[in-house]
Each structure stands twice: as structure tokens, then as C-alpha cells.
Amino acid sequence: MASSILFKHALFFILSVLATSYIAQASDPNILADFIVPTNFSTPIDGNFFTFTGMRRLVANSTNPPNFKATKATMVEFLALNGQSVSMAVLQFPAGGVNPPHTHPRSAELLFVVEGSMEVGFVDTANKLYTQTLQLGDMFVFPKGLVHYQFNADAKKQATAISAFGSANAGTVSAPVTLFATGIDDEILAKSFKTDIATIQKIKASLATKP
Ligand SMILES: *[C@@H]1O[C@H](CO)[C@@H](O)[C@H](O)[C@H]1NC(C)=O
Ligand SMILES: *[C@@H]1O[C@H](CO)[C@@H](O)[C@H](O)[C@H]1NC(C)=O
């Protein structure tokens, strides 16, 4: 009897440990220092290391570019983010601009509309589509790893959003680029999309030439 209770306690303990380590692995790994300085970093560390000025030019210019543009501040552009499990991006949409379906394999995305309005949507693993029309000041969360998009449906006004990520390097997998601009064989794509090779080649050609 006592041994059976002990066994239950042991089992519960093991399951708790497994669950905890699973949760820990669901985000960027923990670091064993306050912050990570690249080994080849030559200048002494001061406040500048923790500062990113790459968004200044966006704030200085109130006109969005003619095509959708994402300006990122990940650990690639902003070295101090390495190990901190956070990053950001500024998403600029011209009137009618779209951020095509894509996923971020390593993080959820918390989007905050700071100018205009936008249509957003994501598809879960049961192929259910969730959509919303966001107004200025609204936030929307795209769950980690799920295919999603944003679209500025307004024909006259531009729109801008700021997105936060729970990874220093969330990664972006663009559905159109991944499928049609990486050299996957035309026949494989034609069969997969239940269409002909000419249609696949047409899509590949427009992706290669149009922004
Ligand atoms: C350090 O090394 C990385 C990768 O090798 C390189 O991209 C970066 O420019 C280097 N930085 C400096 C300050 O030398
Ligand atoms: C502002 O950005 C727009 C769109 O990219 C560009 O056409 C324009 O030249 C920029 N204006 C200034 C002052 O840099």
C-alpha cells in the first residue's frame, strides 16, 4: 500500500518535471548570463549596445513605401536581443497593401495597429480560419507557428502596425516564397495544387518579377 502511494508520488513528480521542461523548451533557451555580447565585439559595452536606432528613419517619414514593408529588430539587426526572447517589427502597408500568408516558427506575434485599419486572419491546425477587422489602437495575437496574413483593405489610406515577438529570432516562412521561389520542381507543385505546369510557371514568373 505504502509503496503504491510512493509510486504515485514518484510518477507525479516525473510527469511534473517532464511538463516543466516541455514548457521551458517552448520558448527561446534560457541564458546563463545577464546578456550576451558577441565574442568579436570590439568596443566596450555601454548603453549603445542595448539601443536600436534602425526605426528612426521610419518615424521621420510619414509616407509608407509603395509596397508592404516589414522592418525588423531581431537579434540579427539588434545584437543585444540575443538570449532575451523578445523582438519587434514595424509593418508598413500602402493603401491596399498585403502581407502575404506566412508563419513565424519560433514565436507568437502580438500586433498593435498604430495607423489606419487592417484585415487580419490566421488558420489553425484544424484548417479553421479566424479573421478580424482591426481599428486604430487594436491588438491581435497570431498564435505561434500558424499561417497568418494582414491586409490594408482601405483603397486610399495607408496603415501601420507594430509587432512584438516572444523570440529574439522568430523566423519568417512566407508561403508564396517557400512554395514558388525556392526551386521546388514544377511537376511536384502542379500535382500538389492539382493544376498544370504552365500555371505553376506563371506563378513562379510573377513572384520573381513583381515586388
Ligand atoms: C562579428 O562576427 C559576425 C559573424 O561572423 C559578423 O557578422 C560581424 O560583423 C562581426 N562583428 C564585428 C564587430 O566584427
Ligand atoms: C518617404 O518614404 C517614401 C516611400 O518610401 C519615399 O517615396 C519618400 O521619398 C520618403 N521621403 C523622404 C523625405 O525621405
Measure the CA–CA gap between 119 and 58, rounded to whole angstroms: 22
Question: Would the CB of 54 count as within 6 Å of ligand 1?
Answer: no
Report whether 124 contacts 130 (CB < 8 A).
Answer: yes
Confirm whether 43 is domain-assigned.
no
Pick the ligand that lies closest to the CA of residue 67. Answer: 2
Do 95 and 29 reside in the same domain of the chain? yes
| Pair (127, 195) in one structural domain | no
Reported as half-sphere exposure (CB side, CA atoms, 13 A), residue 55 has a value of 18
Residue 47 CA to ligand 1 center (angstroms) comes to 19
DSSP string, 13-27: HHHHHHHHHHHHHTS
Q: Is residue 176 part of a domain?
A: no
State yes or no: 148 annotated in a binding site.
yes
Residue 59 lies in a domain: yes
Domain presence at residue 64:
yes
Q: Are residues 201 and 125 in the same domain?
A: no
Look up the CATH number of the domain holding residue 68. Answer: 2.60.120.10
If you take atom 4 of ligand 1, which residue's CA is the nearest one?
40
Nearest CA to ligand 2 atom 5: 65
CA angle in degrees (0–180, nearest 5) for 205-147-59? 80
Q: Give yes or no: residues 110 and 208 share one domain.
A: no
Assess whether 189 and 164 both reside in one domain: no
pLDDT in tens, the chain (211 residues): 445 555 555 555 554 544 444 444 568 999 999 999 999 888 899 999 999 999 999 989 999 999 999 999 999 999 999 999 999 999 999 999 999 999 999 999 999 999 999 999 999 999 999 999 999 999 999 999 999 999 999 999 999 999 999 999 999 999 999 999 999 999 999 999 999 999 999 999 999 987 7
On whether 102 is known to bind a ligand per the annotation, the reply is yes
Question: Residue 70's beta-bridge partner residues?
Answer: 91
The Cα 65–Cα 106 span in angstroms is 28
Contact 147, 101 (CB under 8 A): yes
Cell of 51: 539601443
Q: Are residues 86 and 139 in the same domain?
A: yes
* Structural domain span for residue 205: 181-211
How many CB atoms neighbour CB 47 within 10 A? 6
Considering the domain architecture, whether residues 31 and 134 belong to the same structural domain is answered as yes
CA–CA separation, 157 and 172 (whole Å) = 27
| Cα of 40 from ligand 1 centre, angstroms | 6
- Residue 25 and residue 113: Cα distance in Å, rounded? 30
Amino acid code (one letter) for 175: A
Q: From the alpha carbon of 39, which atom of ligand 1 is closest?
A: 1
Distance (angstroms) between ligand 2 centre and the Cα of 60 equals 10
Q: Are 112 and 134 in contact (CB under 8 A)?
A: no
pLDDT for 32-78, tens place per residue?
Answer: 999 999 998 888 999 999 999 999 999 899 999 999 999 999 999 99
- Cβ of 65 less than 6 Å from ligand 2: yes
Indicate whether residue 37 lines ligand 1 (CB < 6 A): no
In a domain, 45, yes or no: no
Q: Does any ligand 2 atom lie closer than 6 A to the CB of residue 51?
A: no
User: Alpha-carbon distance 113 to 134, whole Å?
Assistant: 7
